[in-house]
Structure 1
Amino acid sequence: MLKSVLLALLICGAAVTSRAEDGSRLWLRYDTVSSSAKIETRIDSPTVRLAVGELSSFWKGGKVELQLMADSRHYSLGNEGYTISTRNGVTTLSSVSEKGLLYATYHLLRLQSCGADCSNLDISEKPAFDIRVLNHWDNPDGTIERGYAGQSLWKWEELPAVVSPRYAEYARANASIGINGTVLNNVNASPDVLSSDNLIKVKALADVFRPYGIKVYLSVNFASPIKLGGLATADPLDGKVAEWWKVKADEIYTLIPDFGGFLVKANSEGQPGPCDYHRTHAEGANMLAAALKPHGGIVMWRAFVYSPSDDDRAKQAYLEFRPLDGQFMDNVIVQVKNGPIDFQPREPYSPLFGAMPHTQLMVEFQVTQEYLGHSNHLAYLAPMWKEFYSYIAPADLKAVAGVANIGDNINWCGHDLAQSNWYAFGRLAWNPELASRDIAEEWLEQTFTADKEFVSPMTEVMMESREAVVDYMMPLGLHHIFAWGHHYGPEPWCEIDGARPDWLPKYYHQADADGLGFDRTENGSDAVSQYPDSIVAVFNSLEKCPEEFILWFHHVPWKHKMASGRTLWDELCFRYQRGVDSAKHFAEVWEEMSPYVDSERYSAVSHRFDIQASDAVWWKDACLEYFRTFSRMKYPSGVDKPVFSLKQLKKVKLPIDNYTCPSADMLPSAND
C-alpha cells in the first residue's frame, strides 16, 4: 500500500533523536549521570537506600539531603507526605517516613526529566487518599481476565525459588507515581490462593514490594472455608467459619506482617457470598474484617452486584447496598465502580456515591480498556476520571482502585501509549486536582521526548482520544452494545439463546420505530430518583439533561431537536462520523512524529493507530446501519456512506480470547 511505503521512507529517512527502545522503561527513562551526585543522609533502611540509589544514578542538580522530620508541618502531611526545598544550592527532601522520602525522590527526578527549573524549589505534597491500589485480575494459570498485554506478570510456578527482576521494576514504576498497594489476583478468586504453599509465594512478592512502600492484598473466595478448609458451610455467622478466617489471617500476617487485607467479590456473577446463607453483605464483610482487624488489615468489599430482576440493572447496586449504610465495621471499605453499569466508555457516576454517608467508600476505575478498544485503541482516560471527580469530591472517598492494564509484554501494556493510563491513574490517585493535560504532557516528556514539536500535537491527540472513542462507539449516552463475550466490536443486534436480557445490547439501547435510548426517568425505570434532587432535576428533564447522557436517561424520538439544531438521528450520525474522522486524524498526526520517536515504538504505535481508524469505521457502519432499520431516515450530508452492509457485518464473529486482542483485519472485505 502507498501509505505503508511512505511510512517506511519516513522511518528510514528520519533523524531519530532517541535510541531504539522496546517500551520496557516506561516513563522512567532517566539518563545516568556521568559523575555521582552528592547525596547525604543519616538514615539507613531498604527504602532510603532505594532513594539514595535513584538520586546517585540520575540526579544532575548538585547536593541533596534526605532527612526525617518530626515537626508539626511534616506531621500535617501524614505518613507519606513530604517537602522539597532548595536553599543555597542544596536540595532537601524531608518527610516523617522513609516512604515519603522515596516519593519525594521520584517527584524531584520527574521535575528534572520534564525540564523544570529545580534551582529554587519549595514544594509540599501529601496524597489525597491513604489507599491507592491496583487490582490485578490475574488467574493462577497465568491468564488475565480483561488482560490485553500478554500473560500474568506473576510466575506462580516459579515462585518463591525464582524472583523475576520485573517484580522490582513493577514496584519501582508504581512507587514513582505514588501507588502503594497491589491486589495480586482476580476478583473471581480461586480459594487456592490462600493455601499455605501459595502464601509463601505471595510472601516472596511482598518482600520485593515492601521497600517501595507497596502493600500486598489478595482477592479471596468467600467459600474458601468449604473448598480449602473442609467445612460444611461458609455462613458468616457460623462460629467455625469465623474461626477459620481468624486462623488464616494469623497465618498470613505471620508470613507478611504488613499484609494489606482482602478484596472480595461476593454474590455477583456466580461468585459465592453471604447472601447464599440469607445474610447481608455487611454481615459477610464484617466477619472477614474481624479476622483482619487485630493485624491492621482491611476488607475492600465490591458493590458490583446485580441479579436477574425486573429492576433496571443500573439501579441494583444502590438497592442492595444503600439500606446497609452504617452497618459495616470501620476497617471495611465498600468498593464501587465509577458508574452504575460496568466501565462503559461514558457513564454517569454511580448513585451509591453520596448515598452512604456512614460507610467508607472507594472508587474502582478500569485502567485496562475492556470497553475501549482493548490495547488496540488509544483512549487516554484521565479526562474520564476527571469527569467522575467533577461530580464526586475526593474528600468523600476513603481510597481509590484501578483495574490494571499490565501484563508480561515487554512494554507492559500492549500498546505503548496505553502506559499513559497506568501513569495517569497513579498521578490522579495521589492528587485528583491535577489537570489531565498536565499529566499527558509530563508523561509524553518522560516517555518519549520533551521536544515541543512532539509534545504539543501528541498532547492534543491524547486529550481528544477518549471522546473520539465515545463518538465512534456509543455517543450520546448509548451503552453496552458490544459483541458478546469479548466486548471489542459492535453488535447492537446481538441475540443469544437463553441469555439474560441485561446481558444483551437491546436491553440497553431500546431502539424502536419511535426512538432510541433507555427511559430511566420518573416515568420509566426511575433510576434517576437514586440521585440527589439537584441532579434529578437535570437528568430527569429531556430539555436539561446533558446530551452526553441523554440516551442513558431518556428514550428520545428520532426527530427530537438537539442543541445543534439537528434531529437525534442526524446528531447520532454526526457523532459517529466525528469519531471516525478523529481516529483517522490521530494516525495522520502520528505519521508526522517519526523524527522524534525511535523506529521500533514508532512502527508499533503506527500499526495500532491504523487498527483504530479501521475499527472506527466498523463501529460507525455497524451501529448506524442497524439503527437506521428503526429510524428509516437517510444519512445527512457530510456522513460517509457505509463501507460494509449490515448483512456483512452481522457475519463477523471474532474469537473470544482474554489475552490476545482480536484484530480488525478479520472484518469482511467489501466483496464478501
Structure 2
Amino acid sequence: MTSVRFVILFLSIFFSASAQKDYRLWLQYDRINNSVIASEYKSNIQGIISFGNSQTSQIAVKELQDAIAGMLGNKLEIRSEIKGENNLIIGSQNSLNSDLKKALQPDFDKINNEGFIIKSILFKNKKQLIISGKNEIAVLYGVFNFLSLIQTNKSIKNLNITDSPKINLRVLNHWDNLDRTVERGYAGFSLWNWQKLPDFIDQRYVDYARANASIGINGTVLNNVNANALILTPQYLEKAAALASVFRPYGIKVYLTARFSAPIEIGNLKTADPKDPEVMNWWKNKAAEIYKRIPDFGGFLVKANSEGQPGPQNYGRNHVDGANMLADAVAPFGGVIMWRAFVYSEHDANDRAKQAYAEFQPYDGKFKENVIVQVKNGAIDFQPREPFHPLFGAMPKTPLMMEFQITQEYLGFSTHLVFLPKLFQEVLESDTYQKGKGSTIAKVIDGTLYQNKLTGIAGVANIGNDLNWTGHSFLQANWYGFGRLAWNPYLDSETIADEWLRCTFSNEENFIKPVKKIMIESREAVVNYMTPLGLHHIMDTGHHYGPGPWVSNLSRPEWNPTYYHKADKNGIGFDRSKSGTNAVSQYAPEIEKLFDNPATCPEQDLLWFHHVSWDYKLKNGQTLWNGLSLKYQEGVNQVAAMQNVWNQSEKYVDSERFNEVKMLLEIQHKETKWWRDACLLYFQQFSGKELPAGVEKPTQTLEYFKSLKFPFAPGNG
C-alpha cells in the first residue's frame, strides 16, 4: 500500500510540474545548459541595486530574482546602494541619483514615456548594467526584455538598447460574458470569476497581468463587444475595480464595452438617443462613477448598430453622434472611446465588404480627438486570408485602430496549429498607396502616415481558464506575437517565432530550425486547406466549425456561404471588379487597378475580387479547377509534414506538451481531409470535372458531409 501511495505521489508531482511548464507560457526561466553563456551572465550580474520601492518596482525586483535564480542557479542580494561592480541597477529616471541620471540623459532623450534603456556603463570606473525608463512601468518592460535576452542565450556584454512602443493603446479585447462563457473562445471559460469577485483574487489574474506586461500589452477590455448593460452597474463596477487594482502595477488599464441602450436598461430612461440631454447627462454621471472607482479607467469599447446591437442609428443619428457623445463623457478624465467599424446591414446585401467603408469614410475628421475607430484587418470577418480593409489609409483625419483576432474563430479553433503573426505581418506590410508607395498599414496605425496622436491596436483574446491558457501550447505564440507586433508593428514574424520557441521550449538549434519552419508555413497551410485562391466565409453556419459551402438557407443573404463563393457552372468567385460590385473603387487608384484585372490581381485574392471560369488559366498553367483542387491537397500535405517534424522533436520537449501537440496535430490532419473532401465534392457539382492527379479521392459522400451537425461546438455564444 505504501509503495502504491508513493507511486501516486510521484506521478502527481511529476505531472503537476510538467503541466506547470505549459502554464508558465514564455516565462519558463529554465536552467541555462550552455556553460559558456551561463558563465558570462554570472560574471556580469553579481548583485541587484534597486532605486524604487513602489509595488511595480518590487514586482520588477522579484521577477529578476526569480528568473536569475531559475536560469543561473543563484539568488542575488538586493541593495539600495551601489557597491562594487557588475551590479544590475534598476530604477526609473526620477528615482536614480543625479550622476546616473546625467549619464543616461542622451538615452532618455531617445525614448517615450513607456520606453526603456538597457545599457552597460562605466560608473565611477566600475562596470555596471542598468535598466531604466521614464517611469517604473517602463522599467518593468525593460526587465522583461533583459530577461528574454538571457532566455534566448543572447550575449549581455556591451549592451546598449533603447526601445519604445510605437503604438499607444495595445489592448486585448476579451469577448467574455458575465456567465463566464466566451464568445469565440476555445480555451475553456472566462478568466474572470464574477461570482467570487471582488473579494477573491485568483492568482491567475496576477499571472495574466504579468504575462501581458512581459510583451508590453497595456490594456484589457474585460467584457464582450456584444455587451450586457449589467457590467455598468455598481455591483459589477466593484468587481471590475478589483481587477483594475491587480493589473495597475503591471501597467495595464481596464476598459469596458458599453451597451448603447444602457440608459434604458439600467438607467430607467425611455430613450438612448445620443442627442437627448438626459441621455448625455446619464453617460457623464456614469463615467464619473466609474472613474471614482477606477481612477485610471481606460474608456469604452463600443459595438453599435451591428449584428442586432443597439446604436445611434436606432434614433436616426449616426456613428459620429454616438461616439462623440460618449467621448464627451470620458474626456474630463482622460478616457478614450474605441468605436468599432464592424457594421453591415441586412437592408444592403449588395456587397457586405463595402459597407463599413461606405458608413465611416464620409465621417472622416468629424470624430472627437479622444475617439479612435477600431477597424478589422479585412472587410468581411477575420478570414484565414482577406485583402486589407479599404478604410486603412482612407480616413487621414481620424485615428484608426487595428483589430486582429487572436482567437481562431475561422481557423480551426484551438485544435489547429496556426501561427497568426504571419497573418498579422502580411496585413501590417500591406501598402495602401494613399500617400504614394510605402503608405503601409503599419504607418497608418502607428500614426506616422498622417501624424495621428492617438494610436491603437487590439487583439481579440484567445485566452481561457484552461491550464495552458490557450487550449493548445502553440497558440500561446499568437498571444505573444500579437503583443510583440503591438509594441513594434515592423517586426518580422520569423523573429517572433524564434524568440517564442527559445523562451517556451528550447534553445537547441536542431529543435528551433525545423519547428520554426512549420510555424511560419502553418498560416499558408490553413488557407490552402480551407479557403485557397481568395475563397472566404465558406465555414459552416453559426459555430464556424468545419466547411459549409452549401449553406444557403439563412435569413440574411450575407450570412450564407453561397453568397460569397457564388459557384455555378460558369465558374466561382465574388465579382468585386468595376463590372461587379465595384468594391475595388474603395482602394487607392494603384491598388484598384491591381485588384480590378484578373491578370494582375494576386492569385491569393483572385476569387475575392473575381468570378472566373473553371477553365481559367492560373499563372502556373493549371486550370482554376485543377489549381483549386491541388491547393486543398497541398494544405493536407503541409499538415502531414508538420506532424513529421513534431514527431522528431520529442527529445527536446517534455512528454506532456509533446503528446498534447501530437494529438492535436492528428486532429488537425484529419480535419484538413474533411475540408478538402467536403469542399471539392461540393464545387465538383458545378465544375463537372474530375479531380486532377495528386489529389486524394474522398472516402465519404457529399451527403455525409452535409449531414454533420455540431450543436455544442465551443465558442458559439
Question: Is TM-score (shorter-chain normalized) higher than 0.5?
Answer: yes
Q: 1:232 aligns with which of 270, 293, 306?
A: 270
Alpha-carbon distance between aligned partners in 2 of 1:419 and 1:446, rounded to the nearest angstrom: 12
1:147 aligns with 2:185: yes
Q: 2:402 aligns with which of 363, 371, 374?
A: 363
The residue number in structure 2 matching 1:547 is 603
Q: 2:119 aligns with which of 57, 61, 85?
A: 85
Q: 1:253 aligns with which of 271, 288, 291?
A: 291
1:449 aligns with 2:473: no
Q: 2:361 aligns with which of 276, 298, 322?
A: 322
Give the partner amino acid of 2:23. Answer: S
Alpha-carbon distance between aligned partners in 2 of 1:507 and 1:315, rounded to the nearest angstrom: 14
Relative to structure 1, is the Cα distance of residues 550 and 137 closer, same or farther in structure 2, using a 3 angstrom cutoff? same
Q: 1:54 aligns with which of 58, 63, 69?
A: 63
The residue number in structure 2 matching 1:292 is 330
The residue number in structure 2 matching 1:8 is none
Runs of 4+ aligned structure 1 residues displaced above 6 Å come to 32-36
Relative to structure 1, is the Cα distance of residues 522 and 124 closer, same or farther in structure 2, using a 3 angstrom cutoff? same
The structural deviation recorded for 1:278 is 0.6
Q: Would the aligned equivalents of 1:149 and 1:659 in 2 still touch at CA under 8 Å?
A: no
Relative to structure 1, is the Cα distance of residues 342 and 660 closer, same or farther in structure 2, using a 3 angstrom cutoff? closer
Alpha-carbon distance between aligned partners in 2 of 1:414 and 1:393, rounded to the nearest angstrom: 30
1:67 aligns with 2:91: yes
Q: Would the aligned equivalents of 2:21 and 2:28 in 1 still touch at CA under 8 Å?
A: no
1:30 aligns with 2:29: yes
Paired residues for 1:567-582 under 5 Å: 567-582=623-638
Unmatched tracts of structure 1, length 5 or more: 1-15, 662-672
The structural deviation recorded for 1:566 is 0.4
Comparing 617-626 and 68-77, the one that deviates more: 68-77
Q: What TM-score do you get using the length of structure 2 for normalisation?
A: 0.88
Alpha-carbon distance between aligned partners in 1 of 2:350 and 2:131, rounded to the nearest angstrom: 55
Give the partner amino acid of 2:25. Answer: L
Instruction: State the Cα deviation string for residues 372-419 of structure 1 (Å, max 9, x = none).
Output: 000000110111111111123323221100000000000000011110
The residue number in structure 2 matching 1:399 is 456
The structural deviation recorded for 1:20 is 6.0
Q: 2:519 aligns with which of 452, 455, 462?
A: 462
Q: Would the aligned equivalents of 1:226 and 1:234 in 2 still touch at CA under 8 Å?
A: yes
SS of the residue corresponding to residue 415 of structure 2 reads: coil
Alpha-carbon distance between aligned partners in 1 of 2:678 and 2:409, rounded to the nearest angstrom: 19
Q: Would the aligned equivalents of 1:37 and 1:55 in 2 still touch at CA under 8 Å?
A: no
Instruction: State the Cα deviation string for residues 77-110 of structure 1 (Å, max 9, x = none).
Output: 1110011111354211121111110000000000
Q: 2:203 aligns with which of 162, 165, 168?
A: 165
Instruction: State the Cα deviation string for residues 151-179 of structure 1 (Å, max 9, x = none).
Output: 00000000011000000000000000000
Alpha-carbon distance between aligned partners in 1 of 2:179 and 2:208, rounded to the nearest angstrom: 20
Alpha-carbon distance between aligned partners in 2 of 1:22 and 1:550, rounded to the nearest angstrom: 43
Paired residues for 1:207-222 under 5 Å: 207-222=245-260
Alpha-carbon distance between aligned partners in 2 of 1:208 and 1:37, rounded to the nearest angstrom: 31
Give the partner amino acid of 1:107. Answer: N
The structural deviation recorded for 1:68 is 2.6
Alpha-carbon distance between aligned partners in 1 of 2:89 and 2:62, rounded to the nearest angstrom: 13
Q: Would the aligned equivalents of 1:30 and 1:58 in 2 still touch at CA under 8 Å?
A: yes
The structural deviation recorded for 1:310 is 3.5
Give the partner amino acid of 1:396. Answer: V
The residue number in structure 2 matching 1:180 is 218
SS of the residue corresponding to residue 23 of structure 2 reads: coil
The structural deviation recorded for 1:22 is 5.1
Unmatched tracts of structure 2, length 5 or more: 1-14, 33-37, 77-85, 94-100, 431-439, 446-454
The structural deviation recorded for 1:304 is 0.3
Relative to structure 1, is the Cα distance of residues 278 and 20 closer, same or farther in structure 2, using a 3 angstrom cutoff? closer
Give the partner amino acid of 2:714. Answer: N
Comparing 327-336 and 75-84, the one that deviates more: 75-84
State, as a whole percentage, how many aligned pairs show the same letter: 52
SS of the residue corresponding to residue 613 of structure 1 reads: helix
Alpha-carbon distance between aligned partners in 1 of 2:712 and 2:354, rounded to the nearest angstrom: 29
1:616 aligns with 2:672: yes
The residue number in structure 2 matching 1:563 is 619
Using CA pairs under 8 Å that are at least 6 residues apart, name the structure with larger relative contact order, 1 or 2: 1
Instruction: State the Cα deviation string for residues 518-541 of structure 1 (Å, max 9, x = none).
Output: 000000000010000000110001
Comparing 387-396 and 173-182, the one that deviates more: 387-396
Q: 1:110 aligns with which of 135, 138, 148?
A: 148
The residue number in structure 1 matching 2:583 is 527
Instruction: State the Cα deviation string for residues 262-304 of structure 1 (Å, max 9, x = none).
Output: 0000000000000000111011000000000000000000000
Alpha-carbon distance between aligned partners in 2 of 1:76 and 1:207, rounded to the nearest angstrom: 31
Instruction: State the Cα deviation string for residues 108-138 of structure 1 (Å, max 9, x = none).
Output: 0001000100112111101010110000000
Give the partner amino acid of 1:49. Answer: Q
Comparing 146-155 and 31-40, the one that deviates more: 31-40
Alpha-carbon distance between aligned partners in 2 of 1:37 and 1:201, rounded to the nearest angstrom: 42
Relative to structure 1, is the Cα distance of residues 311 and 75 closer, same or farther in structure 2, using a 3 angstrom cutoff? farther
1:597 aligns with 2:653: yes
Alpha-carbon distance between aligned partners in 2 of 1:65 and 1:542, rounded to the nearest angstrom: 60
Comparing 397-406 and 590-599, the one that deviates more: 590-599
Q: Would the aligned equivalents of 2:577 and 2:583 in 1 still touch at CA under 8 Å?
A: yes
The residue number in structure 1 matching 2:450 is none
Alpha-carbon distance between aligned partners in 2 of 1:482 and 1:393, rounded to the nearest angstrom: 28
Alpha-carbon distance between aligned partners in 2 of 1:211 and 1:387, rounded to the nearest angstrom: 34
SS of the residue corresponding to residue 560 of structure 1 reads: coil
Alpha-carbon distance between aligned partners in 2 of 1:84 and 1:340, rounded to the nearest angstrom: 41
